[in-house]
Chain A
């Protein structure tokens, strides 16, 4: 739908308000300058957006824009649509090199396709690599609970780490724990309120990291399956891979209870487009995980004989009636485990054994635990 002359809106005098039309600075151009800065007759900065090209000129949207906002646009902290619609707006009819008519308008006066898509940044390289949006009846500007923010940020990290750990265990990649941390802890580019959205950037210098891109590709494959309505099982290269990817996807599905009812994953790295996950997606993932259960809970007693801080793993020794056992743990558990290792204390380790490796859930000193026969 083309832009129509807003006859019901107040007409303005472009000669008085703009003076001579002049482009001060082009911010984005393709076949024409699409987004640029110009000044009012009084020298105030305006952000100009070519809303529609015409035979003899163009429709321009003009909005106030100071230096800080221009810097935010260039650095990818402010979407173009927000910069245009955040304050008052003018619609200008440009014929040739002159603005001949102008009106004060509202965003709703324009067909939606004549404004930038919501969330779009000025430059293509500043588009977020991944986005996660939480949708729920109580999630709106001013009412977003901290748990929602924490959930989205933590879930993305956990999901990517799960896939990276799987690739590491398979031997598909060889990265240290520190490198894995850097890969999965994506920088937050911006928060967007309304329904709450976190936009993630690539880690500095790692936008083309093949390991990270491979992990995200596998994750998105799983997310696309979870978001689909089909009944087909989830296919992966191996049972381990299937399990790892599904667990990663599970982390990004809305919890069964709480304010988040839907999560939408998008961004440049989500090449399948926005992926909509709801509680049905979570049920689907969990049903699929149950079909190929290869893990069980274990409890072991012993002494931490060897500790690898870089790879967050240890070897439990002196286990009564059982051989030494290797376990992995999360970074949050490092301090406690280091204490037990340093003091040489006997410990009780509870975890989940998966593919021959124990994933530690809890560690406590043996003499402080309730005595339970060692299992596994």
Chain B
């Protein structure tokens, strides 16, 4: 069990992937507003594997359990590109997409870096929401 500021009580019971529901029982977070948060993807064209959380991949076992079940996106293309510049091994392209309330919950987890954690609902085709917009360089 863990507590993260963000999601409303009850959100975990409605529509999140089961693992997310187990990990995030209590938190508050705003719903997705229409925006285009970019993220780093390994390849172009984008595949589903580009949108798997650490929990789904079995990695970062010691990370914050709430953040571990989310996906990393950023407020702006420049912030996503900057993240890549700091850790080039993460991928090769920047993808952007538009997220709305039906796509899950978002929380700004770092104001300085612009990092947003996205907890998508279970029925969301995550990769389909994004398009590669530029190569990292």
Hey, which bits of chain A sit against chain B, CB under 8 A?
28-32, 34-35, 50, 52-57, 80, 96-97, 111-117, 120, 123-124, 127, 268, 273-274
Contact = CB atoms under 8 A, between A and B. Distances in A.
A317 B122 CA distance: 78
Interface stretch (B7-15, B24-32, B54-62): B54-62
Given A52-B89, A55-B60, A274-B137, A31 B78 contact: no
Contact of B62 (A28, A35, A97, A273): A97
Nearest to B75: A124
Given A31-B67, A55-B61, A274-B137, A116 B113 contact: no
Given A55-B59, A56-B62, A124-B79, A29 B87 contact: no
Contacts, number: 80
Nearest to B135: A273
Given A32-B60, A50-B87, A117-B88, A127 B113 contact: no
Contacts of A54: 59-60
Contacts of B89: 52, 111, 113-114
B34 to A, nearest CB: 22
Contacts of B59: 53-55
Interface centre among A52, A96, A116, A117 (most CB of B within 10 A): A117
A116 B83 CA distance: 9
Given A55-B60, A56-B61, A56-B62, A35 B78 contact: no
Contact of A124 (B54, B62, B70, B113): B113
Nearest to B116: A30
A50 B83 CA distance: 12
A58 to B, nearest CB: 8
Contacts of B93: none
A91 to B, nearest CB: 15
A115 B87 CA distance: 7
Interface residues of B, number: 30
A30 B137 contact: no
Contact of B112 (A28, A32, A97): A28
Given A116-B86, A120-B86, A268-B78, A31 B63 contact: yes
Given A31-B63, A31-B72, 4 more contacts: A29-B112, A80-B86, A97-B62, A123-B112
A340 B123 CA distance: 78
A123 B63 CA distance: 22
Interface in B95-120: 109-110, 112-115, 117
A251 B79 CA distance: 31
B60 A30 contact: no
A84 B91 CA distance: 22
Contacts of A113: 88-89
- A-B pairs with lowest CB-CB distance, top 7: A124-B82, A113-B88, A120-B85, A117-B85, A30-B115, A113-B89, A31-B72
7 contacts: A28-B86, A31-B63, A31-B72, A34-B86, A115-B88, A123-B82, A127-B78
Given A53-B60, A96-B62, A112 B88 contact: yes
Contacts of B67: 31-32
A360 B89 CA distance: 53
A112 B72 CA distance: 23
Nearest to A34: B86
